[in-house]
């Protein structure tokens, strides 16, 4: 089983989510190999989980003013502000991973934990879907399984600006905004807070973590995957009916 | 919720029965679309009824897996909403 590794590239939020879905469809039909992909977000963006309420989670006015794109993911989980971070996705037939969902999170998050280990950080998996360093969250992950295909994507925080994050995400009570920011600062960390490494070092470590023990080729998205993704951008990910469905 | 997940239920009642319901949060459900079936299956139910059983049977019919929340949690929140907004 040869894997494909798609090196880091930046796209807007809509195309990023559409690529993950387009590749998933083609992995399911056997047209594409199991794929590991690293990516960033061209303009800063917020992604919300499949089940989240857009209006309850996101300050739409502040996002508009700041030029921050908002996209709903196909995966559950929480809202994420994508700024200085690396996102990964791993897309493969379900049978390559444990049937038990938490066990599969543990396995895939293990690749990120190994990568952080290479950078000198002692990280641990916290079920359901988080990775912690020194008890603070450094990575969030979300998985879906459709058509016999497992897609897991997740983010590794490189640098984090909690104040900016809370200016874009809704706070249930404005009076406790400051408290929430200081509490989030205690609960969240980033690669840069833990180690003096640059983005290239992190990417190299992630590539090692995800490809260890696998035969793989560095590859690109196919024309078919890209064309499918562009269609999905228009038919789903840019649509208010999708992003505002909850 | 255990695992630190958030679960919200917006619910409207009419003559003691669920008239409208929207379940939101940062939990996981595979396949995701089953959430609409769960919401649909609860319409017309009385909050004091066996909502957990209805949710469980909807999950079973779709072979769906709910992670980070349980049918009991949803039932509890619906009943709580009923007591807060009669």
The pLDDT tens digits for A198-227 are 999 999 999 999 999 999 999 999 999 999
Tokens of A243: 């992003």
Q: In a mutagenesis test of the A interface, which of B5, B8, B20, B25 is the best target, namely the one with the most A β-carbons within 10 Å?
A: B25
Smallest CA–CA distance from B27 into chain A, residue: A77
Bridge partners of residue A180, in order along the sequence: none
Whether residues A74 and B32 touch (CB distance < 8 A) is answered with yes
Beta-carbon contacts of residue A222 (< 8 Å; ≥ 6 apart): A26, A31, A32
Count CA atoms within 13 Å of residue A4 on its CB side.
17
Out of A51, A74, A101, closest to residue B24 by CB:
A51
Shortest distance between the Cα of A104 and any Cα of chain B, in A, equals 13
Going from N- to C-terminal start, the domains of chain B cover 7-84
Asked if A47 reaches chain B (Cβ–Cβ under 8 Å), the answer is no
Angle between helices A199-211 and A101-118 (to 10 degrees): 130
Out of B3, B29, B65, closest to residue A51 by CB:
B29
Tokens of A16: 């990023």
Phi, psi of A22 (to 5 degrees): -60, -45
Domains and CATH numbers, chain A: 2-243 (3.30.930.10)
Shortest distance between the Cα of B74 and any Cα of chain A, in A, equals 14
Coil, helix or strand at residue A85: strand
| Alpha helices by DSSP H, chain A | 13-28, 54-57, 60-66, 101-118, 162-168, 177-187, 191-194, 199-211, 223-232, 240-243
CA distances to A10, A70, B34 from A162, in Å: 22, 18, 34
What is the rounded distance in angstroms from the CA atom of residue B53 to the CA atom of residue A28? 33
Out of A145, A146, A246, closest to residue B24 by CB:
A246
Tell me the average pLDDT across A186-202: 95
- pLDDT on residue A99: 96
Whether residues B26 and A143 touch (CB distance < 8 A) is answered with no
- pLDDT on residue A173: 63
Smallest CA–CA distance from A77 into chain B, residue: B26
Q: Please write the tens of the pLDDT for every residue from B14-58.
A: 999 999 999 999 999 999 999 999 999 999 999 999 999 999 999
Q: Please write the tens of the pLDDT for every residue from A132-186.
A: 999 999 999 999 999 999 999 999 999 998 888 888 988 766 666 677 777 777 8
Determine if residue A18 is left, alpha or beta; phi over 0 gives left, psi from -120 to 50 gives alpha, anything else beta.
Answer: alpha
Q: Please write the tens of the pLDDT for every residue from A37-90.
A: 999 999 899 999 999 999 999 999 999 999 999 999 999 999 999 999 999 999
Shortest distance between the Cα of A196 and any Cα of chain B, in A, equals 30
CA distances to A22, B56, B76 from A32, in Å: 10, 36, 44
What is the rounded distance in angstroms from the CA atom of residue B26 to the CA atom of residue B7? 7
Beta-carbon contacts of residue B49 (< 8 Å; ≥ 6 apart): none
Asked if A78 reaches chain B (Cβ–Cβ under 8 Å), the answer is yes
Shortest distance between the Cα of B48 and any Cα of chain A, in A, equals 25
For chain B, how long is the longest CA-to-CA vector? 36
What is the rounded distance in angstroms from the CA atom of residue B47 to the CA atom of residue A59? 32
CATH of domain B7-84: 3.30.390.50
């Amino acid at each position: 089983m040869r894997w494909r590794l798609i090196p880091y590239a930046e796209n807007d939020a809509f195309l990023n989510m559409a690529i993950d879905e387009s590749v998933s469809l083609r992995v399911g039909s056997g047209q594409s190999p199991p794929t590991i992909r690293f990516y960033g977000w061209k303009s800063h963006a917020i992604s919300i989980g499949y089940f989240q309420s857009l209006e309850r989670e996101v300050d739409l006015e502040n996002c508009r003013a700041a030029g921050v794109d908002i996209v709903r993911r196909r995966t559950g989980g929480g809202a994420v502000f994508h700024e200085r971070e690396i996102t990964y996705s791993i897309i493969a037939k379900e049978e390559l991973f444990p049937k038990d969902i938490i066990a599969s999170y543990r396995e895939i998050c293990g690749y990120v934990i190994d990568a952080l280990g290479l950078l000198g950080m002692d990280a641990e998996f916290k079920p359901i879907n988080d990775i912690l360093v020194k008890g603070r969250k450094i990575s969030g992950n979300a998985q879906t399984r459709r058509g016999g295909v497992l897609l897991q994507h997740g983010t590794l925080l490189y640098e984090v600006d909690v104040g900016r994050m809370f200016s874009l995400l809704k706070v249930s009570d404005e009076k406790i905004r400051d408290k929430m920011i200081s509490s989030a600062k205690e609960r969240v960390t980033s690669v840069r807070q833990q180690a003096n490494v640059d983005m290239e070092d992190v990417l190299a470590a992630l590539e090692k973590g995800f490809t260890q023990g696998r035969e793989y080729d560095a590859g690109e998205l196919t024309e078919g995957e890209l064309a499918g993704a562009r269609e999905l951008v228009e038919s789903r990910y840019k649509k208010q009916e999708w992003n505002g469905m909850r | 919720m255990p695992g630190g997940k958030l679960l919200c239920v917006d619910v409207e009642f009419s003559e003691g029965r669920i008239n409208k319901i929207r379940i939101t949060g940062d939990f996981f459900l595979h396949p995701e679309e089953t959430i609409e079936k769960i919401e649909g299956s609860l319409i017309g139910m009385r909050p004091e009824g066996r909502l957990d059983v209805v949710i469980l049977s909807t999950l079973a019919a779709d072979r769906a897996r709910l992670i980070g929340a349980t049918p009991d949690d949803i039932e509890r929140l619906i009943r709580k909403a009923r007591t807060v907004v009669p």
